[in-house]
Amino acid sequence: MQITDMLSQYNRNLANGVEVSSGTQGIKQIASSLSELSVGNVFEGNVTQMENGVVTLGMPDGKSIQARLDAGVSVNVGESMFFQVRSNTGAQIAIRPFSGGIAANPTLLSALKAANLQANGKMLTMVHAMMEQSMSIDKQSLAHMARLVMSNEGMDVTSLVQMVKLGIPVTEEMAAQFENYKSDQYAILDQLESVMELLPKQMAGGSLSQDGLLALNRQMLEALFGGEGALTDAASPPDGPTLTEDAGAAAGQQAAGPDAQNPSPDEAKALSRANAMEQAQAVVGTEPDTTKKAESDLAGKAEKEGGQPQKEAAVSGRGERNGEADPKLQPDTIRKLFTTGALQRLASHLKGVPSLSEHPALFSEGKLREGLEPKELLRLLGQAFSDKDPFAKQALSELASSKEYRALVKNVLERQWLIRPEELKTEHKVKELYERLDRQMEQMERIVKSFGQSAPRLSDAASNVRSNIQFMNQVNQAYAYLQIPLKLAGQNAHSDLFVYNRRRGRKDEDGELSAFLHLDLDHLGSTDVSVKLRKKQVSANFYMADDLSYQLIYDHMDELCERLEKRGFQVKLSVSGQEKKVNFVEELLKQGSPSAGGAVHRYSFDVRA
């Protein structure tokens, strides 16, 4: 018997003045014909209230009934669940939560029957997922979704439904990215770093002839750096040397002396703290006199050994060191990138090319200019790869296969594909980055294939970058969300920016803007910032992964407050030592469905939020 029939009978009894008695267990007698509800019948109810062991269940038609909970039965207010009749004596009825799975869910079965769809596993999962997302399960909606499910047999049904909910096109590429986002494996920074490792090695040519090798590098540099004789730099001004392969440790050794190659535990600890302090400043946006603790640690050690304090390891947030401009904030040069031996090998290769050996931008008095920027050197090499001289070809071929050349390419790629935090003030900076990335990845794949090279790892990495960009582009049609690959002091960092209540075509009624920023940092760990802004009132909560990170952020809170207050804001800040784990897909689904219809255009990122 259907529960609605029971309620109708119950209402008639009340209207006629018939007394309805209460049972000592189970639900209230709500009909005079309780015997018609058989053992095993299943019905759905929503738990609307719990008091003194009695639970009130809201029914689908708006009516409600009450049930007394047996010992050990656990339900929660707001929970929607199915119940099964456990016993019926004719005088009272006992029910229990039903956990027969979706295969026995009467609502799902009824919906599929009404839509003339087979009640198999996929269809039941489909309807269940649609109900979880508050989507309509009328005949037409179910028929449309069923066609998508059947035409994408290899796709997870729940993910497919969620993609439709969010307005994301159902394709294999989009589905793969969606699964990456659900499993927290979506960071575009990881994909870019894979390309930056693989591409310079691919440009070494492998089995290509000498002419093929030079042509490959010429075309690749044209694709990556514009082809108009000047390289585009997405990360200027730089924050310091990008140390690759064997060049990294040696460059630091040249600056700090022979003892810097194997720092003591105290020095390593001080360096780690200095880096963490710089990251804390980047998160809270302050510029204090930092790293004093790191300086004192190193100074104390040096004084004990009769030496001078090694303050090179302690860099202030202003970019000053001992009263001088911090070289970390100066443009990258090949001197910073290479050891003395590597510079000599590089000069030897270049001197073998007539058009480069006497070039005033490269050499001065027969010596390689150590202040030369890597991007300028690559620009000149891109022109030289067209040289027809046989001796030049040999020297260029050897150069293209060298570690020094790979380090040059990787350095410039980092500066093209990563963004410094202060650059985010520039309008359309992220949009320009993703437009360039999409274009360059496509050209790079095409060039590699045109030379008959087999590079599945590189192609997969480049394809992942492009798919991720297109996925973000689709999401950004409705929601303000972006990944921003950041270049910070001493590391590359992944970040997510999600602006809630900023859906396309809609404005928040009270004018409040809510945003969430996630950062993965080497020294601070997982760092999350939740911000709310309403007119001139701003509140922010910082969630840190551990106690040390908590303390570093906490120490700079007053400075951040002062800077915001000077700008006319009323500020309320807090910091928690507990990480706040946020799932991207879940956050999107909470925001509701995007508006349907309308053409989707490439390169339509709006990062003004």
Mean pLDDT per block of 10 residues along the chain (609 residues) reads 33 40 34 53 77 79 73 74 74 69 76 91 91 90 95 93 93 93 90 95 89 94 68 37 30 34 49 56 49 37 37 30 40 87 93 90 89 92 92 94 94 92 87 93 93 89 94 87 88 88 54 86 87 91 89 89 91 85 79 40 27
Determine whether 421 is exposed, middle or buried from the number of CB atoms within 10 Å of its CB (0-12, 13-18, 19+).
middle
Rounded distance, CA 364 to CA 478, Å? 56
What's residue 506's pLDDT? 53
Cβ 373 vs Cβ 330: under 8 Å = no
SS3 124: helix
A 10 A CB-CB count for 118 gives 10
SS3 215: helix
For residues 169, 170, 173, 176, the Cα torsion angle rounded to the nearest 10 degrees is 120
**How many angstroms separate the Cα of 344 from the Cα of each of 119, 129, 261?**
73, 64, 21
What's residue 256's pLDDT? 35
Q: What is the pTM of this model?
A: 0.68
User: What DSSP string runs through 142-159?
Assistant: HHHHHHHHHH-TTS-HHH
What's residue 11's pLDDT? 40
Give the pair of three-digit tokens for residue 214.
């030079």
Give the pair of three-digit tokens for residue 436.
């360039």
SS3 571: strand
What's residue 274's pLDDT? 55
What's residue 107's pLDDT? 79
A 10 A CB-CB count for 590 gives 8
